[in-house]
Structure 1
Amino acid sequence: MIIDYGSRPPLPAFGPKGAEHLKRYRQVYAASETAAEPQQDFAGYLAEYDKAGVSHVCVKARDLETTYGWRISNEDVADFCREQGPRFIGFAGVDPNKGMTAVRELHHAVRVLGLRGLNLQCFEHHLAINDRRMYPLYAKCIELDIPVNIHCSINFATSTLMRYGHPSLLDEVMVDFPELRVCASPPGFPWVHELIGVAWRHPNVSIGLVAVRPKYLQVAGSGYEPLLQYGRTVLKDRIIFGSAYPLGPIARTIAEIRALPIGEEVERLWLHDNAKRFLRL
């Protein structure tokens, strides 16, 4: 079986309409999104997961109201997961710029709505990973015993800063919150070695192989090669697969994982077992 850690269903509640800050993403991922178009209707999307043998899919809310006036609401994500059944696992999205309101919304999203993690795309909040406005949310995640997904890589929204996602900032957070369960995704480019170092230092940090074509892990000079070396050895139990649909076709990303020289054991860890453990399924 396979777990897809990152996917955005092709439904209006999850759509990018109004997310003007992501226009550059449409250019960067244009070829991959075009390749994913056959799955753009919801029936085709579900059929693709059936065909691939995907047991669980993570879908994530986002609250960017104070910075970009846009959100994928916790209520919509919770309703979707409830309607679609146990295959879909919802992560909450709250806005750290809202202070204690965000903390209360996270509590409500988990305890009342039934969401099972927190999604923080820090660059969209114009905040660094280690900004103190994040800290009450990190503490709340530990209290609620839920994992957090943290954007830890380059971003292509030129209205905000790239350095907000630097892995060294996550290292500081993990020193302060060693109990926090984090999946850092995408996997650190152009600071891949630094993210590997953070994960090696902190056993509660996983690396999400999300929003990058897996084939680049074995392309010389791509910058992603260290993920292949460390991901099949000392960090083999810390790599988590996500298609990032619609940034890439579901079947193609799975096929590219299976084409990597990682062996059956590591392939199973990357595609299923690591996510199962991280999500406590």
Structure 2
Amino acid sequence: MIIDYGSRPPVPEFTQSNTSHLQRYRSVYASSERAAGESGTDTFAEFLAAYDSVGAQHIVVKARDLETTFGWRISNEDVARFCRENGPRFIGFAGVDPHKGMTAVREFETAVREMGLRGLNLQCFEHKLAINDKRLYPLYAKCVELDVPVNIHSSINFSTATLMEYGRPILLDEVMVHFPELRVCAAPPGFPWVHELIGVAWRHANVHIGLVAVRPKYLNVPGSGYEPLLQYGRTLLQDRIIFGSAYPMMPIQRTVREVEALPLDESVKRKWLYENAKRFLRI
């Protein structure tokens, strides 16, 4: 069984538009996206079949609101409708624009209380805000009040229209000191500050690390920079690594196979692929 913490279904609701700021991603992930395209998951039926083949119990899909900075969004309404129409297998996260102030806070609350979305997605680099920017604090407080988790982009980004520093994991430490009850999945897993992210997770028991948008095989490649995730992820932090394919950035089946091929105890693989996400998402 698996839970995929990050996927974008091939349906109109998740179509990305006005994404010129992400063009650098297309070259960085060219080979993985090509492999995803060649894996036979172009239609929604094929997408579902791929998840059936790996025993996926749940798939997390996320809204994004970047209207202030980049002029587009994947709306909460569309994500909620998609989840409603396609059953409990899909778990939706809300996306709001922090630059909208209390409007964003109210939209987030509505998305959870009335639409049934079950977390908040913050791609801080796309909002051009650091993880610890105080404009995000009302949203963090609302997550605690609603008792839902937040997904926070915590890694390098490849958009040269914004700063790499916005996703630096050490900034999450201050947030967790101020909001110790906040449940966080920091994803992708911290490159090139992997040790920083491990340190933050070690300090704060409510911080999880999302193995998202990086090929799992690199955790076992000397010199890749990801090796500490394997060492700490099979020992001290084995209960806090969460798998996500990042489809269509990476193919679903190959990404699962690469986790299964890592030198991990079978019990740890189960935690990474299913049990940790189940607990984090309160399923």
Q: Same fold (TM over 0.5)?
A: yes
Query: Which 5+ residue runs of structure 2 have no aligned equivalent?
Result: none
- Matched residue, 1:12: 12
Map 1:239-250; keep pairs closer than 5 Å: 239-250=241-252
DSSP 3-state at the match of 1:65:
coil
- TM-score normalized by the length of structure 1: 0.99
Q: 2-side partners of 1:19 and 1:272: how far apart?
A: 32
Larger CA deviation: 18-27 vs 190-199:
18-27
Letter in structure 2 aligned against 1:26: R
Shift of 1:191: 0.1
Query: Which 5+ residue runs of structure 1 have no aligned equivalent?
Result: none
DSSP 3-state at the match of 1:133:
helix
DSSP 3-state at the match of 1:230:
helix
Map 1:118-137; keep pairs closer than 5 Å: 118-137=120-139
Q: 2-side partners of 1:129 and 1:105: how far apart?
A: 20
Map 1:262-273; keep pairs closer than 5 Å: 262-273=264-275
Contact 2:210 2:241 in 1 (8 A): yes
1:174 and 2:176 are equivalent in the alignment? yes
Shift of 1:16: 2.1
- Matched residue, 1:205: 207
Shift of 1:278: 0.1
Q: 1-side partners of 2:43 and 2:158: how far apart?
A: 26
Shift of 1:18: 2.0
- Matched residue, 1:30: 30
DSSP 3-state at the match of 1:233:
coil
Map 1:119-158; keep pairs closer than 5 Å: 119-158=121-160
Letter in structure 1 aligned against 2:76: N
Q: 2-side partners of 1:261 and 1:89: how far apart?
A: 30
Q: 2-side partners of 1:191 and 1:219: how far apart?
A: 17
RMSD: 0.5
Letter in structure 2 aligned against 1:218: N
Contact 2:13 2:82 in 1 (8 A): no
DSSP 3-state at the match of 2:94:
strand
- Matched residue, 1:113: 115
- Matched residue, 1:62: 64
Q: 1-side partners of 2:114 and 2:78: how far apart?
A: 13
- Matched residue, 1:163: 165
Letter in structure 2 aligned against 1:53: G
Letter in structure 2 aligned against 1:20: S
Shift of 1:17: 2.6
1:79 and 2:81 are equivalent in the alignment? yes
Q: Deviations over 1:57-111 (max 9, x none)?
A: 0000000000000100000000000010000000000010100000000000000
Larger CA deviation: 14-23 vs 164-173:
14-23
Aligned length: 281
- Matched residue, 2:105: 103
Letter in structure 2 aligned against 1:9: P
Letter in structure 2 aligned against 1:179: E
DSSP 3-state at the match of 1:134:
helix
- Matched residue, 1:93: 95
Aligned-residue sequence identity (percent) comes to 75
Letter in structure 1 aligned against 2:185: C
